[in-house]
């Protein structure tokens, strides 16, 4: 039984993978067992972080995903139709935490403002305690109006709702006797326990294109950035902007984390070519990218997942200058 808190050090480059917690239709007789197998296999292979995404409900205007004016990404296509199946990410992470030993977890992203703040703070602190400090929380405002309307929330005010949600979570995680007052939420003398195991609470990774609101949110709350939109094409440039903003605000940027995608290169046999896949890693790490995420379809059995990912993990660690 592990006794230490699992805190991946900020300066250590991490290899992440994002299994699909969604399906265009009911996955059938085997259900979602493959998610458990994939987590076990990834953990055994040495993957540093498992990432899981979020939709509470789906509306019918899915073209909004491809509209940057509405929070989408130009040319993007929603991976399922309106009747797609999406598992709740925090529930998935809680299951993964029970069947893995070292792999960290991240929401990529959680639409946090859809959840009531104090209840969310309790859910997250519980997962962090039970996983021995292996949780990272990626958050953003999302792109879908219907998710806010279905929860009785104003879509136009979603940025302010997210800010307040994050403020309340951090207050409850930090203070023994917590207080908060705003137009929407007022409390005092509130005690939330257990607190997260990780110092400072669950690390918050802010997602978004670096407009003034996202940049301000990162400076105020973020320990990491998940690039979105055009900024995802050049995360190193975005990181430089963030570092400047942190320094201007009096925050030490040391250890600030940034996520980016690492394209998978296939060999002639259709399998992953580990050496060619990790060739960009040294330059990415030098540019300040700390979370390098690969996307690929995983087998449904743990042993096959371990066999697939093991050589990639080893090649990544060598390319990133990490010890075994």
Q: pLDDT tens digits, residue range 183-239?
A: 999 999 999 999 999 999 999 999 999 999 999 999 999 999 999 999 999 999 999
CATH code for residues 14-319: 3.20.20.30
Residue ranges per domain, the chain? 14-319
Three-point CA angle 38, 89, 207, nearest 5°: 110
Q: pLDDT tens digits, residue range 256-310?
A: 999 999 999 998 777 899 999 999 999 999 999 999 999 999 999 999 999 999 9
Stated pTM of the model: 0.95
| Cα separation, 243 vs 240, whole angstroms | 5
DSSP state of 299: P
Question: Taking each helix axis from N to C terminus, what angle separates 117-130 and 89-98, rounded to the nearest 10 degrees?
Answer: 20
* CA dihedral sign, ordered 92, 93, 97, 102: positive
22 Cα distance to chain centroid: 15
């Amino acid at each position: 039984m592990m006794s230490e808190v699992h805190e991946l050090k900020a300066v250590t480059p991490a290899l992440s993978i994002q299994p699909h917690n969604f399906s265009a239709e009911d996955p059938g007789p085997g259900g979602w067992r493959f998610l458990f197998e994939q987590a076990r296999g990834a953990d055994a292979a040495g993957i540093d972080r498992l990432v899981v995404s979020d939709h509470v409900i789906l509306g019918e205007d899915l073209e909004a995903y491809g509209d940057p004016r509405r929070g989408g990404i130009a040319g993007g296509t929603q991976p399922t139709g309106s009747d797609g199946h999406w598992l709740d990410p925090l529930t998935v992470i809680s299951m993964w935490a029970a069947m893995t030993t070292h792999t960290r977890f991240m929401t990529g992203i959680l639409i946090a403002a859809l959840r009531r703040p104090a209840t969310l703070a309790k859910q997250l602190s519980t997962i962090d305690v039970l996983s021995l400090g292996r949780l990272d929380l990626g958050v953003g405002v999302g792109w879908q109006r219907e998710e806010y309307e279905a929860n009785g929330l104003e879509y136009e005010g979603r940025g302010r709702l997210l800010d307040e949600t994050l403020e309340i979570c951090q207050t409850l995680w930090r203070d023994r006797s917590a207080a908060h007052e705003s137009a929407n939420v007022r409390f005092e003398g509130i005690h939330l326990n257990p607190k997260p195991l990780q110092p400072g609470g669950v690390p918050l990774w802010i997602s978004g294109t670096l407009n003034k609101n996202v940049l301000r949110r990162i400076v105020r709350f973020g320990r990491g950035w998940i690039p979105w939109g055009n900024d995802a094409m050049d995360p190193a440039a975005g990181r430089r902007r963030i570092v400047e903003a942190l320094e201007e605000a009096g925050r030490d940027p040391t250890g600030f984390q940034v996520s980016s995608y690492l394209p998978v290169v296939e060999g002639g046999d259709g399998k992953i070519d580990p050496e060619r896949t990790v060739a960009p890693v040294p330059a990415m790490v030098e540019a300040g990218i700390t979370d390098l995420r690969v996307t690929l379809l995983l087998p449904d059995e743990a042993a096959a997942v371990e066999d697939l990912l093991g050589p990639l993990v080893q090649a990544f660690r060598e390319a990133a200058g990490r010890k075994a």
